């Protein structure tokens, strides 16, 4: 089956009230081995410390591994939810935006979230022509193929 993804960025924040190591462990649930994570210290609106974590995945082999990790760790029913909401998660530049609950990711499970305080996965879809509706169709077909594969 055609693999529709061309690049990804995974990011999250560790707020002052969170254990930075636990947030990093949650982020690593998605990351293939050997992907470098950039850590940046920031200050919040009220001067509170925030740590930003970000990793880019561009190699095709690593992208496939990242996607495989997503599939393996998604809670039952989440793949169907992803397919059903793909059009809401696609931007004008054909990037699919997924958010996963940080606390559940730390526990080893991926659940789609609407919260901003989550692990963000932005994944570029190779759509030709590069239109959001074409990208959405590709993602839906690909996800449908993933959900029909034997586990």
pLDDT digits (tens, 9 = 90+) for 51-95: 999 999 999 999 999 999 999 999 989 999 999 999 999 999 999
Ranges of each domain in the chain: 5-147
Q: What is the pLDDT of residue 147?
A: 67
Separation between Cα atoms, residue 108 and residue 83, nearest integer Å: 22
Separation between Cα atoms, residue 6 and residue 20, nearest integer Å: 30
Q: What pairing do the DSSP bridges indicate for beta strands 38-43 and 95-101? A: unpaired
What does residue 63 show for φ and ψ, rounded to 5 degrees? -65, -45
Separation between Cα atoms, residue 53 and residue 37, nearest integer Å: 6
Res. 149 pLDDT band, cuts 50 70 90: low
Separation between Cα atoms, residue 28 and residue 16, nearest integer Å: 20
Separation between Cα atoms, residue 146 and residue 151, nearest integer Å: 10
What radius of gyration, in Å, describes the C-alpha atoms of the chain?
A: 15
The pTM of the full predicted model, rounded to 2 decimals, is 0.92
| pLDDT at residue 122 is higher than 80 | yes
CATH, domain range 5-147: 3.30.1440.10
For tokens 């919040």, name the residue: 44
């Amino acid at each position: 089956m055609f693999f529709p993804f061309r690049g990804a960025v995974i990011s999250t924040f560790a707020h002052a009230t969170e254990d930075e190591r636990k947030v990093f462990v949650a982020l690593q649930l998605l990351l293939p081995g050997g992907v470098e994570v950039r850590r940046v210290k920031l200050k919040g609106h009220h001067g509170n410390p925030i740590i930003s974590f970000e990793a880019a995945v561009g190699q095709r082999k690593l992208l496939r591994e990242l996607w495989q990790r997503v599939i393996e760790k998604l809670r039952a029913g989440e793949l169907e939810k992803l397919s059903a909401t793909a059009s809401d998660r696609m931007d004008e530049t054909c990037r699919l935006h997924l958010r996963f609950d940080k606390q559940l990711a730390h526990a080893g499970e991926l659940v789609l979230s609407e919260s901003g305080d989550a692990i963000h996965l932005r994944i570029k879809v190779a759509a030709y022509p590069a239109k959001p509706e074409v990208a959405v169709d590709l993602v839906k077909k690909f996800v449908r193929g993933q959900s029909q594969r034997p586990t």
